[in-house]
Amino acid sequence: MNEKLKKAVFCVLVLALAVGGVGVRSAAAQTAAQKSEEFYKNILVMKGQPADLMVPSMQFMEIALGVHCVYCHDDDAQKRELDTKPMKNTARAMIRMVNDINKNTFAGRNVVTCFTCHRGHTSPVEVLPYNGEPARSTAVAPSTMPTVDQLLDRYTAALGGAEALAKIAGRAAKGTVTNYAHLDQVHPERAPTTVTPIDIVAKGPDKRMVVQHNIAGDAVNTYSSTGGWVRAGAAAARDMRTDELDAAKLENAVIAPSQFKTLLTGLRVEGQEMVGEHTAWVVSGRTPTLPSVKLYFDRDTSYLLSVAYRQQSYYCCHAFRIDYDNFYIANGVRMPLQWTVNGPRQAMLVYKLDSVQMSPVEDSRFAKPTAAPAR
Ligand code: HEC
Ligand code: HEC
């Protein structure tokens, strides 16, 4: 095509669009060849793209974030060029970022889009969710809130009181842990995959050992005032990481509630939330290595219904939640006989105790073994 012919075709095209087109703009009719910055008024980052793709791109962003045009644009639909809302500039930064990622990491292919991260929401999720657990709705904001001390005292009283708890020389419990398959497409019915016997030995406020009798050998998880250690199968015992130690302390505080105040800082009552059918007071805090811990106390019975915490990584967090149930009484004190661990990675674990003996336990039980177990 020579230059003259090109121009002629161009003119005919413009004319055809102007006559038959929708939303006719006689001064600057859009053509397939036009770039967005030639047709639109205020294009800073989507330069060089065909103007025709502008509105579909906007619709894509709208759906990817689960918003409407006015989330970023002026309320006057005739003035999309205005920068009256700060979200529009945030979106520009995001468009730049996505362009850079695709250019630098994916050889210019449009692999990453707004939807890759946003998934229909304005804020992408940075915390891995619990395995298959639905989000809980927040109940009506209460007019009066108890204090942290009141909630901890009520829970301690519900367990039998500080005096009765102090008298317990030790506990030895037997039960099982049922490992349910991940709730995913492969295992939609959450079938139990294994049922393994366990032994739990606890003493005082700060000693606890859980032994899981796996076919491949015992898995031992021990926490004492001097530290914590774990051992799996034939491997030698290793020290717990600091976050594992904090999580073990947190779990043990469920039967030794005086430890919550030793372990957690920044304690405060958040308000009420629903845990299943129960209304719970939510107390939040943190440990040096667990950036967010929440305790859910039953408003009516004062029992601890759940302990939720986040485990830190370079990329923010894994969320865990342990739900406690079946508070059983023996020797004047109560303890949960069942608890369910919901985590992002492992399957759902349900611990069930069949028997609990309240009897003295030697301190040496909690010492870290120096040799690997005999096979
Ligand atoms: C997530 C924010 C966001 C949403 C939602 C959004 N837009 Fe935009 N829109 C932008 C940004 C940013 C620009 C400017 C792009 C640039 O500077 O390169 C823009 C530019 C435009 C322009 C060009 C205006 C001009 O003349 O400069 C039009 C037209 C437009 N959008 C229409 C829409 C429509 C219609 C919707 C709803 C279907 C929509 N947008 C939804 C962020 C958004
Ligand atoms: C690599 C992941 C990622 C991609 C891809 C991405 N975003 Fe975002 N976006 C985020 C994160 C993370 C935030 C929240 C930032 C924060 O909390 O400070 C965010 C926030 C935003 C916000 C502000 C939301 C608010 O209500 O504060 C807008 C608007 C937005 N993104 C638009 C877009 C658009 C449009 C695209 C596609 C061009 C896009 N994002 C692509 C990660 C991404």
Q: Tell me, using a 6 A CB cutoff, whether residue 201 lines ligand 2.
A: no
Please say whether the dihedral angle defined by the alpha carbons of residues 126, 131, 137 and 143, taken in this order, is positive or negative. Answer: negative
Nearest-CA residue for atom 36 of ligand 1:
69
pLDDT at 162: 96
Q: Name the closest ligand to CA 113.
A: 2
Phi-psi region of 119 (alpha: psi -120 to 50; beta: other; left: phi over 0): left
- Which among 124, 59, 39 has a CA at the least distance from the CA of 73? 59
Q: Mutation test of ligand 1: which of 43, 58, 95, 122 has the most ligand atoms closer than 8 Å to its C-beta? A: 58
Q: Mutation test of ligand 1: which of 36, 54, 63, 80 has the most ligand atoms closer than 8 Å to its C-beta? A: 80
The full length of the chain comes to 375
pLDDT at 345: 63
Q: Mark the ranges of the chain whose per-residue pLDDT is less than 70.
A: 1-32, 129-140, 181-192, 345-347, 371-375
Q: Tell me, using a 6 A CB cutoff, whether residue 58 lines ligand 2.
A: no
Nearest-CA residue for atom 39 of ligand 2:
114
Amino acid at 284: S
66 CB-near residues (< 8 Å, 6+ apart) = 118, 120, 121, 122
Q: Tell me, using a 6 A CB cutoff, whether residue 117 lines ligand 2.
A: yes
Distance CA 97, CA 89 (A): 12
Q: Name the closest ligand to CA 101.
A: 2
Q: How far is the CA of 123 from the centre of ligand 2 (A)?
A: 7
- Which among 158, 199, 154 has a CA at the least distance from the CA of 175? 199
pLDDT at 176: 97
The b-or-e profile of 31-67 (16+ CB within 10 A means b, else e) is beebebbebbeebebbeeeebeebeebbeebeebbeb
141 CB-near residues (< 8 Å, 6+ apart) = 271, 272
Q: How far is the CA of 83 from the centre of ligand 2 (A)?
A: 18
Q: How far is the CA of 62 from the centre of ligand 1 (A)?
A: 9
Q: Name the closest ligand to CA 66.
A: 1
pLDDT in tens, 68-80: 999 999 999 999 9
Q: Contact 256/206 with Cβ under 8 angstroms?
A: yes
Q: Tell me, using a 6 A CB cutoff, whether residue 267 lines ligand 2.
A: no
Q: Name the closest ligand to CA 49.
A: 1
- Which among 288, 296, 1, 249 has a CA at the least distance from the CA of 139? 296
**Around 123, how many Cα atoms within 13 Å sit in the side-chain half-sphere?**
3
